[in-house]
Amino acid sequence: MTIFYFVAFLSIFFALMTIFTKNPVHSVLYLVITFFTFTVHYILLNAQFLAVVNFIVYMGAIMVLFLFVLMLLNLNKESEPMKSNLVKFMGVIAGMCLLVTFLGAFRVIEVNNEMVTAHEDIGLVKNLGKVLFSDFLLPFELSSILLLTAMVGAVLLAKKETRVKQHG
């Protein structure tokens, strides 16, 4: 029980470090740690498949993409554009207002305060695979098309534009 609160504190701390650090590379590294704490949360919920996917996709693929782009563009602390302190202050105030709105909404809807019990087997690969390939077969296939489209789009966008000389 106390593990949850400790990991939650770590997640919030590293998420704050992510958005308040000046150096973009440090920011990405803090985001990796935040995602790792999310993986621990998934394990605590007994969602083992999601924990593995979060570990591989987020901490592996997406973070490598971010780091790669940061290093490709050669960004560092000196080239980092920062907003003025007034805008920062107003942004934090606006975020706090949003949080207060959320908390007020949660008070009104009165979630019954039952405990989240980790079910034995719903998060396991076997069970999720059965659901994924029976009830959600069409969305699964559509997501493969989505990934293909994203790949083609990314290559087309990032390719260096060459002026085609029309001969003749």
Partner 1 sequence: MGNLLENMQGIPLNHYLIFCSIIFVIGVIGVLIRRNVIIIMMSIELMLNSVNLLLAAFSAYRGDPSGQVFVFFIMALAAAEVAVGLAIIIMVYRNTKSVDIESLTKLRW
Q: Is the sign of the CA dihedral 133, 138, 139, 143 positive or negative?
A: positive
Residue type at 94?
Answer: A
CB of 163 to partner 1, least distance (A): 15
Which conformational region is residue 110 in: left (phi greater than 0), alpha (psi within -120 to 50 degrees), or beta?
left
137/167 with CB nearer partner 1: 137
CB of 165 to partner 1, least distance (A): 21
Q: Which residue has the tokens 């390719």?
A: 159
The number of beta carbons lying within 10 Å of the beta carbon of residue 115 is 6
Nearest to 50 by CA among 60, 62, 38: 38
1/166 with CB nearer partner 1: 1
CB of 150 to partner 1, least distance (A): 3
CB of 164 to partner 1, least distance (A): 18
126/166 with CB nearer partner 1: 126
Instruction: Please answer whether residues 109 and 102 qualify as being in contact, where contact means their C-beta atoms are separated by less than 8 angstroms.
Output: no
1/164 with CB nearer partner 1: 1
